[in-house]
């Protein structure tokens, strides 16, 4: 009988899912626990080490160390010792396959989706291999749980209501102020017109001089630049007036 239904590996600091097992369960209750697991993953930094949240039919177990945590949705008949033994085995497999640099640089969900194959193998092993074959590993975990019991969470700790996580104050979003540039003054309009006229004159002179320079000598290229540079300077001399004028005319 299968007792471990779903498992995933997440990054502790932001809850980013790195890999997960293929989901074959689509009942409403199971999807609800998937949602609870996702919300809990976002707050794993608050619960270092091991922890559990139990319900009527399912339970969530997680085990984190460093910046990697493994989480699982199990049947309520699944012993906590077996669940944490499974999670520890999964943690060692993942950290042996990927270094901390790759994990830290991951920017998209399920960046290590190929690890699903290993998750399925480990999950199958714990679901169908007899406990006697894992006796030494289970005894080790049992001793650790006696020395340091896992954190016990309530269902409310894993719940999300109206998009706000339990225990977190909702954020009040205010509309951004609508800024508008000041209208251009008469002096600004005059400055803008003079800049356009100067730019046009410099452009005309530069073009004519360029035609002449190409016919006479290459040394005249400096004279061409002497008019073209002021033309560009005039364009960018007072950009504020340009933008204000455009804002008014739009």
- Statement: residue 27 has pLDDT above 60: yes
Mean per-residue pLDDT over the chain, rounded: 79
- Residue 168, pLDDT score: 44
Q: Are residues 11 and 18 in contact, defined by beta-carbon separation less than 8 angstroms?
A: yes
Whether the pTM exceeds 0.95: the reply is: no
CA nearest 151: which of 75, 55, 44, 6? 44
d(CA 30, CA 21): 14
Point out the least confidently predicted range of 4-13, 24-33, 129-138, 220-229.
Answer: 220-229
pLDDT score of 129 more than 70: yes
Contacts of 165 (CB under 8 A, 6+ apart): 39, 42, 43
Q: Average of pLDDT values for 102-117?
A: 94
Per-residue pLDDT reduced to its tens digit, 47-82: 889 999 998 889 999 999 999 999 999 999 999 999
- Of 44-53, 131-140, 182-191, 211-220, where does the model show the most confidence? 44-53
């Amino acid at each position: 009988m299968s007792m471990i239904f779903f498992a995933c590996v997440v990054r502790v600091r932001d809850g980013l899912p790195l890999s997960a097992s293929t989901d074959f369960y689509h009942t409403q209750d199971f999807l609800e626990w998937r949602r609870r697991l996702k919300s809990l993953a976002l707050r794993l930094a608050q619960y270092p080490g091991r922890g559990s949240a139990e319900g009527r039919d399912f339970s969530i177990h997680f085990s984190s160390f460093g910046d990697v945590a493994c989480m699982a949705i199990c049947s309520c008949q699944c012993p906590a010792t077996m669940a944490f033994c499974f999670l520890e085995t999964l943690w060692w497999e993942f950290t042996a396959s990927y270094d901390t640099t790759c994990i830290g640089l991951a920017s998209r969900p399920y960046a290590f989706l190929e690890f699903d194959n290993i998750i399925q193998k480990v999950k199958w092993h714990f679901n169908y291999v007899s406990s006697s074959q894992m006796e030494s590993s289970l005894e080790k975990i049992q001793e650790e749980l006696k020395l340091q019991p896992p954190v016990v969470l309530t269902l409310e700790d894993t719940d999300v209501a109206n998009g706000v996580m339990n225990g977190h104050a909702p954020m009040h979003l205010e509309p951004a102020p609508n800024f508008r540039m000041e209208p251009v003054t008469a002096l600004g309009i005059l400055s803008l017109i003079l800049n356009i006229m100067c730019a046009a004159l410099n452009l005309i002179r530069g073009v004519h001089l360029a035609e002449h320079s190409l016919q006479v000598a290459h040394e005249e290229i400096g004279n061409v630049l002497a008019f073209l540079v002021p033309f560009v300077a005039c364009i960018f001399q007072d950009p504020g007036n340009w933008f204000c004028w455009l804002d008014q005319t739009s």
